[in-house]
Amino acid sequence: MNPRTPVLSHSRLRAVAAAALCVALAGAQGVALAQAQAQPIGAAASAAQAVPSLAPMIKRVSPGVVNIGTRGTVRERGQRNPLLDDPFFRRFFDVPPEEGTRERPFQSAGSGVIVDARLGYIVTNAHVVENASEITVTLMDGRDLQAEVVGSDERTDVAVLKVKPEALTQIELGNSEVVEVGDFVVAIGNPFGLQHTVTSGIVSGLGRSGINPEGYENFIQTDASINPGNSGGALVNLNGELVGINSAILSRSGGNIGIGFAIPVNMARSIMDQLIKFGSVKRGLLGVNIAPVTPDIAQALGLPGAGGALVTQVVAASAAEKAGLRAGDVITAVNGKAVKSHTELRNAIGLLRVGDKVEIGLLREGQARKVTAIVPEPEQAAAGDAAAAGTAPGTEGPPHPRLAGALLTDAPEGGVLLRTVEAGSAAATAGLLAGDVIVGANRSRVSSIAQLRAAARGAASLVLQVRRAGTLIIVPLR
């Protein structure tokens, strides 16, 4: 041993070794930190796990959504003497029909979806292009194209535009029949003029109606933000397929509260095809009046459950009569697809084309049947005046609360005659008229007030068979 070499104790040796290990660890950490600082922040994270993003899908489909700017004029009534609204005074003072009206220019904005890039067809809402004399379509790349209206259908709020097919990108059409509540969806449009805004959400509900009672409705409800300017824009699934055309919102303020509505793409496609082919929608009339089948009505008719559409009247010489439909039938299916409500039946028939053959499934007196009808050209059925069915002495009070306000008597030819119906009464609200003859209630034939009272005893609801002007109709009382 070299005498100049210091001799260390065991404790001292352990201390020196520990210090050396600390230095080594510190050096290693320094190298690792230097390497991390030399690498982009997100690179390590993305290499370990990709961050979920809708960006690739949005980039693919966004060029298929366009901004639609419109200009035009609307005629509106200005201020004038209210007496001139009375036809008598207008004739007396020889006031022209258009007196007091004026034209006001307007401009508005909406959205649209390119559905055929080769031919230049764009689908939007009918209300977006209503009264427009000039329509400008702005593409995502900033190009402006002039558009013309191919056709418009107010009943479904669908319109088709055409532009020059110059380097357009279309969106693939999906199938709204397979959309389910809870599916993720994305709304793309131009709210408040902010072009190509994207919002996401889920499908909140299906088959929504009641937004426009005069229209054909089967809306997809979504909580994806939809605001003014989104109308006519795209509602797409996560595959980038078009499942709906954004149409309306439910709001007290005019802004989004999470309740938006889109026209199912299958409905829009059907209307689009007719607008392109004919320039308008040719709807046939089956020739029936219908009512909902509520649980009470179902119980009164002895049905297994609520659902379907109750036929309350069949128009004489109509397609329905020729097919064998009768008042009192409950329609449960159209072309093999179940009909859950009278609204679904109205939509299903309203979207058929003139000349289409339709198979109708129904329940008649508890038995399942099928009939086939051919949708004819629409025509106005002449409504006959209610014929007086005669009177007989001896009247009684109503056998059911919903018949209150009707003066009843036994009809000479059998049944119960409504001699008078008080305006605003329960009977009038139910749709009954003076001169109607009740010939059935629920599943019982009725030839007298006594029989009607027996059929109504203990029943929460009544489904009346009524003879009116030679036609049998059904009147639900609930």
Q: What's the CATH number where 83 sits?
A: 2.40.10.120
Question: Two tokens at 134?
Answer: 């000039």
- Full-model pTM: 0.63
pLDDT of residue 423: 82
Residues 242, 326: one domain?
no
Give the integer Cα–Cα distance in Å for 121 and 143: 16
Residues 80, 121: one domain?
yes
Residue 306 lies in a domain: yes
The residue among 345, 374, 403 that closes a domain is 374
The residue among 278, 302, 332 that closes a domain is 278
Q: Contact at 8 Å (CB) between 183 and 132? A: no
Residues 404, 460: one domain?
yes
Q: Which of 157, 223, 329, 410 is catalytic?
A: 157
Better pLDDT: 469 or 376? 376
Better pLDDT: 423 or 275? 275
Give the integer Cα–Cα distance in Å for 329 and 316: 16
Residues 302, 272: one domain?
no
Residue 459 lies in a domain: yes
Cβ neighbours, 10 Å, residue 359: 14
Q: Which residues of 173-192 are buried (b: 16+ CB within 10 A; e: fewer)?
A: bbebeebeeebebbbbbbbe
Residues 237, 274: one domain?
yes
Q: Contact at 8 Å (CB) between 476 and 297? A: yes
- Residues 209-257 pLDDT 10s: 776 656 788 899 999 988 888 889 999 999 999 999 998 877 655 566 7
What are the residues facing 407 on neighbouring strands?
A: 420
Residues 201, 156: one domain?
no
Question: Two tokens at 105?
Answer: 């220019």
Give the integer Cα–Cα distance in Å for 471 and 469: 6
Residue 146 lies in a domain: yes
DSSP E strand stretches across 39-100: 65-77
Comparing C-alpha atoms, which of 206, 458, 148 is closest to residue 344? 206
Residues 267, 294: one domain?
no
The domain of 357 spans: 288-374
Residues 366, 452: one domain?
no
Residues 188, 270: one domain?
yes
Residue 97 lies in a domain: yes
127 is catalytic: yes
The residue among 135, 162, 189 that closes a domain is 162
CATH number, domain containing residue 207? 2.40.10.10
Residues 101, 156: one domain?
yes
Share of the chain above pLDDT 90, in %: 29
Share of the chain above pLDDT 70, in %: 77
CATH number, domain containing residue 352? 2.30.42.10
pLDDT of residue 134: 92
How many structural domains does the chain have? Answer: 4
Give the integer Cα–Cα distance in Å for 362 and 372: 11
Give the integer Cα–Cα distance in Å for 56 and 427: 61
For the segment 245-270, the average pLDDT, to the nearest whole number, is 82
- Residues 410-441 pLDDT 10s: 887 788 888 888 887 888 888 888 888 898 88
Residue 176 DSSP SS3: helix
Q: How far is CA 324 from CA 51, 107, 331, 458, in A?
A: 61, 51, 12, 33
Residues 409, 338: one domain?
no
231 is catalytic: yes
Q: Which of 62, 111, 127, 436 is catalytic?
A: 127
- pLDDT averaged over every residue in the chain: 78
pLDDT of residue 391: 29
Residue 169 lies in a domain: no
Residues 150, 197: one domain?
no
Residue 138 DSSP SS3: strand
Residue 19 lies in a domain: no
Q: Which of 231, 247, 270, 318 is catalytic?
A: 231
Residue 54 lies in a domain: no
Residue 429 lies in a domain: yes
Q: Please report which confidence band the pLDDT of residue 381 belongs to, taking 50, 70 and 90 as the band edges.
A: very low
